[in-house]
Structures are given as structure tokens and as C-alpha cells.
Amino acid sequence: MSMAAGEYVSVHSQADTEHADLALERAELKADPKGEHQELAAIYVKRGLDPSLAKQVAAQLMSHDALGAHARDELGISEMLRARPIQAALSSAASFAVGAALPLLVTVTAPETALIPLVAGGSLVFLALLGGIAARVGGAGIMVGAARVTFWGALAMAITAGVGALFGTAV
């Protein structure tokens, strides 16, 4: 729940920022439509269109959906990429539950004398596997993805163990 709540709060903050940016853009479009047309045309020129074509594209897009054109091309906000706090929270909770499955399985099956090294080692193996899968799905290098997730997971475990040892609560 902590992971889900944190993700919800973070992504909801992003959604609030998007909402504020859109409100400001709506006001700017109302106050200075010519200036906003020039601003949009300049964006298209920077992307490689010649100035006359950029003005035509900006005019046509603004006549259809001025706020949508500015949201997408000026602010980088599209319907596909908008912040979705509930979806982020549910995904985070599900990811955490799946990620906790192997350490829990190791905890249930491992002998008590080897519990800590087996849970830590099993967790790192699982992190490497999940990092590789995530990289593959995302089209990135599997080894790089696996190494990145494993490194940061190991660092987080080491810091957690260090803090526990510092305060006398780690074995």
C-alpha cells in the first residue's frame, strides 16, 4: 500500500501540474491568439518545416483544436501520455506484489540458518530477471537493464542492512 500510495501522490502531483499548464495555456490562447499561433509555428520551424508551411500547419491545427495542438507540441502533453494516478498506483501495487513473491517463497522454504543470504541472493537473481524482462519489453539491452536493476537493488539492500546494523536491528 505504501508503494501504491507513493505512486498515486507522485503521479497526481504530475497531473496537477499538467492541469495548471493547460489552464495557463487556455488563458494565453484567449488573451493572445496571434502570439500563440506564432509560437506554435516557431516550434514547427525548429522541427524542420519551412516557415510558410509551419504557419499553415499551426493555423490548421489551431482551427481544429488550438489547446490540443499547444498541449501536445508546446507542453508535451498528449492523451496517451497524460498522468493517470489510479493506474500508476495499481501498477505499482501489482509490481510490488509480484516482486515480493520470490523473497516470500524463499523465506518459507529456506532453512533458518541460511535465510538472510538466500533471501538476499534470491532477491538479486529475481531483480536481474525482472530487469532483463523489462528491458526486453521496452526494446533496450537485456544485460544493461538487468545490471541496472540488480545494482540499484543491491545498493538499496546494502544501505538498509547498514542502517539496521547501525541501530542494532540487523542480524
pLDDT at residue 42 in the model: 96
pLDDT at residue 165 in the model: 87
Has residue 85 been placed in a domain? Answer: no
Has residue 62 been placed in a domain? Answer: yes
Has residue 133 been placed in a domain? Answer: yes
Mind spelling out the 3-state secondary structure of 95-113? HHHHHHHHHHHHHHHCCHH
How many domains is the chain partitioned into structurally? Answer: 2
Smallest CA-to-CA distance from 128 within 115, 144, 117 is with 144
Domain of residue 68 covers: 2-75
Has residue 126 been placed in a domain? Answer: yes
Q: Are 98 and 90 in contact (CB under 8 A)?
A: no
Smallest CA-to-CA distance from 149 within 131, 135, 124 is with 131
pLDDT digits (tens, 9 = 90+) for 88-118: 888 888 888 887 888 899 999 999 999 989 9
pLDDT digits (tens, 9 = 90+) for 37-69: 999 999 999 999 999 999 999 999 999 999 999
Mean per-residue pLDDT, 8-28: 90
- How remote is the C-alpha of 43 from its chain's centroid? 26
Helix, strand, coil in percent for the chain, rounding step 5: 85, 0, 15
- DSSP-derived 3-state class of residue 49: coil
Q: Is the pLDDT of residue 170 over 60?
A: no
13 vs 20, 27, 78, CA distance in Å?
11, 21, 17
Put simply, whether the predicted model's pTM sits higher than 0.85 gets the answer no
Has residue 67 been placed in a domain? Answer: yes
Mean per-residue pLDDT, 136-158: 93
| Confidence band, pLDDT 50/70/90 cuts, at residue 5 | confident
Separation of alpha carbons 40 and 94, rounded Å: 40
Last residue of a domain, one of 29, 56, 75: 75
Do 69 and 114 have their domain in common?
no
Do 62 and 123 have their domain in common?
no
